[in-house]
Structure 1
């Protein structure tokens, strides 16, 4: 399938375009092939064949001073700075490099935490170097607090509303990356059994909403 040309659309549509096949996301041990962007947000579906774009989606306000700098999950004793993740030159979604497995990343094509929309944080479960930042994410419970501190030093609190483990070939794109009225947070890592190449076959998704002031 030839690669289409993407127009500059609103942030939510661009995010869906970039990530509609996040079933391929492998923030986990071993080789980590990234997700590939599908044709358009409107045509993307679980059965649509992915194709890399020839132009990047519209950038978010990732350069804003309120960009996230750190994530903390007190109940799991997780604390990590946040690197910025975008798209690779071929249109695939970046994940933190294996050698920085203890560092999570913020996908800059999504919402800025604290603003309306879904902010997406990605972290490894394990890498070839061993245990990684989101290794214990599977143990998080509903009601747990997730804190995100921005570059201004402002800390925002989110409350976990649920989690699910899904097969990578049936990733719930709209539920994870679709538009939301309020400020929401999604944390994503790998989970489940391993395939014949040693890659986990599932993704663990944690959903959280911003706590009212």
Structure 2
């Protein structure tokens, strides 16, 4: 084997060793973060019954909570993390600026004043899901550009009252330093949906804000 062949072998061994070390170190960090997120979720929502489903090896989970709140009886949670523990995938995570994502949907006990979607148009995930969720109602929805906390958002809405309530919740979250990707009021499903890139420093306050907003929307 020539020098180039030995160099390739040594490079492969070095990359393999680095990948193994990176995997176990980052895996532990991701597990700790996931546990912290679950702890905050359960502390705020205090579900009387809960079901978790892992999405994949250290990439997140789905959860369904049955709640004792008079204004909301159920919550659906989706938490995903980019696969940062895969060393060779790391450049993709960095280049695409992928971050953790937390989606919270609450089914409310009272009707909502209409339909409204306030979302970050630069977030491909939020943009795609809003397009999917408004496929049937898009013809009757108005569209508006918003500037909230110096950031550009887009709104699709059926009426001013629904837009006002969704915009107010987005503003409250942004004022608390929360990276908001989407706020939706869905009158057809009586649902409040919030999507954000969670930070452990602000997550509890963000969830408390969503909880308070749900209570106000339900008139409790």
TM-score (norm 2): 0.26
TM-score (norm 1): 0.27
Which structure has greater helix proportion? 2
Give the number of the structure with larger relative contact order, counting CA–CA contacts within 8 Å between residues 6 or more apart: 1
Structure (1 or 2) with the larger CA radius of gyration: 2
